[in-house]
Amino acid sequence: MGVALAAASLSNSAAAGAVIANAAATNAVAMGNALAVAAVSNPTAMGASLASAATTNATSLGVALATAAAGNAEAMGTAFANAAVLNAAAMGSALASSAGTNPVATGNALAASAAANPTATGQALATSAATNPGATGQALVTSATTNGQATSQMVIASAASNPIATSGALATGIAINPQALANIGNFMTVESFTPETTPSTGASPSGTGTWAPVGSPAPIKAILAKFARTIPGAHVKVEDVLLLPSGVPSLPSGQVVSEYVRLTPENFQNSDLVASHTTFFVEKSWLGTNQIHPWSIRFNRYDEARNIWVPFVGKLVQDDAQRLYYSVAPPGYSLWAISGGSEAPAPTTRVDNLTISPSPAQEGQSVTVGVNVVNTGRSSVDYNATLWLNSEVESSRTVTVPVASSLPVTFTIQPKAGAYTVRIDRLQGNLTVQAQPATPTPVATSVPTPAPTATSAALPTATPAPAATPTPVPATPTPVPPTATPAPAPTATPAPTATPAPRPTATPVPPTVTPASTATPVPQTATPAPAPTATPTPAPPPPPPPPSFPWGLVVGIVIAAAVIVVVVVLVSRRPRT
């Protein structure tokens, strides 16, 4: 069927195209298999039939093209390029349908088509990007990975037709795929299409510096400056320059100037900048009149010290009915020229070996991000190195790379905790910053006081000692009298004779408490003694000796009786007067 289809296409492409469109609507898979065979047989004739079929039913043809691309991407890519020459818009609609059906197979065929005819394929791509940017972006990922050079030429041609739609498709595909971005970045300037987030006034999301608005007069839409510290009154004065000052050279050949402006910092120096972000615009009428490619717009800074112009490629960020708006991240302000050319500029440098160290990192820790900038041109080149975190400019600087040389460029940052997409030019990586661990608040732990253990069930539980540690009472072999503290009266009242109590049995003492000695039970009529104080207790008087027979008393009585008898006898013998 495929061979017959190729023959029919060679004989009458319009009739063959109608057959292809109707058959694809009925059975797209079968038609796709036939197209793969027919494209190998005669890709030129099949191109004419495909253009006709796309005019009749682009959606059904696209589904069939996806099957054909999966069968033979090279042949279908060549046939597609031939068809795009005849009807780029219709083939762009079919391409959007094919990408939505099978983006990988479509991308392989797209790379082959771009290699065969990048301009015609690019014009078809512009329609596809406007019709289905997401699916087209995924097909471009495969195309750029397969053939970065041909894909770069194709997307530049697409941008000439529809720069906003092309940038949108690239933003959903190549711009977020590190491998595809690095591959296509070898052949074109990726700053033209990589998406960005415009900084907001206030603290930088990364935690380094603060953004402040510093100017906005036309043709400047807005100027934002990022400072490490707050600078009151920081402002950029914007002035139109009608004639170049004496001694200032013209821009390089091929550059058409839109206008000159002088940006003058007030109340700060360029050295105070951590980063900057400037948005400016050009009139669409100016682009059309001068045949300016939308991706060729430059913001050229005049370097007074070297008397040269340093170009910064503008990133297309938005448009309206009259204007296209671009952004740049220059490292300072001076005399500037807005210019463009008929072609998108080819890169004169290449960045290699993106390093992020350490990664992951701890919040508050310094992180070094670096690349190696290689000069691929034939003369010394000024390269604007810009560090992007999550598509927002973090920092930038301009370095001069000698011819046939390379130069390392590094940035040191201290980002807040979070996940970051890190990019410098065509190279992209990831950084995770972990939050600092929370410092635990000390919690007081109460130490329980062990309860003393009674020596016997019949004895009362001893009261624990007060907060002050009492001086231990030395153990004696004699019993302790019932009153623990002597009476405070100056004249001591003799203590009643107490029956010696049995010596208490020692109780095991916990290691953290020295308990008082076990108290002897007190008679019920006695008043409880006050709690002991920290003053050492005086040693008690020795107890009376045990009772015995009173021999001394008997002897005393006998002697006293004898004395009385002698006195009586003597008195009785005294003469009376």
Least confident of 61-75, 425-439, 463-477: 463-477
Least confident of 51-60, 116-125, 265-274, 287-296: 265-274
Which residue from 410, 422, 426 is spatially nearest to 351, judged by alpha carbons? 426
The average pLDDT across 239-254 equals 91
pLDDT for 7 = 84
Kindly give, in sequence order, each residue whose CB lies less than 8 Å from that of residue 231, ignoring residues fewer than 6 positions away.
212, 267, 268, 272
Instruction: Indicate if the pLDDT at residue 67 is higher than 50.
Output: yes
454 or 229, which is more confident:
229
Average pLDDT, the chain: 82
Q: Is 87 helix (H, G, I), strand (E, B) or coil?
A: coil
Phi and psi at residue 547, to the nearest 5°: -60, 145
Helices (H), 132-177: 133-146, 148-161, 163-172
Q: How far apart are CA 47 and CA 53, in angstroms?
A: 10
The average pLDDT across 442-462 equals 51
Q: Is 125 helix (H, G, I), strand (E, B) or coil?
A: helix
Q: Is 406 helix (H, G, I), strand (E, B) or coil?
A: strand
The average pLDDT across 511-531 equals 42
Instruction: Indicate if the pLDDT at residue 476 is higher than 60.
Output: no
The average pLDDT across 42-66 equals 95
Least confident of 207-211, 344-348, 396-400, 462-466: 462-466
Q: How far apart are CA 198 and CA 123, in angstroms?
A: 30
Amino acid at 180: A
Instruction: Indicate if the pLDDT at residue 111 is higher than 60.
Output: yes
Phi and psi at residue 107, to the nearest 5°: -65, -40
The average pLDDT across 228-239 equals 90
- Give the helix, strand, coil percentages of the chain, each rounded to 5: 35, 25, 40
The CB-side HSE value for 68 (13 A sphere, CA atoms) comes to 35
**Inter-axis angle of helices 163-172 and 133-146, to 10 degrees?**
70
The answer to pTM > 0.85 is: no
Q: How far apart are CA 296 and CA 305, in angstroms?
A: 26
The average pLDDT across 82-98 equals 98
Q: How far apart are CA 403 and CA 425, in angstroms?
A: 19
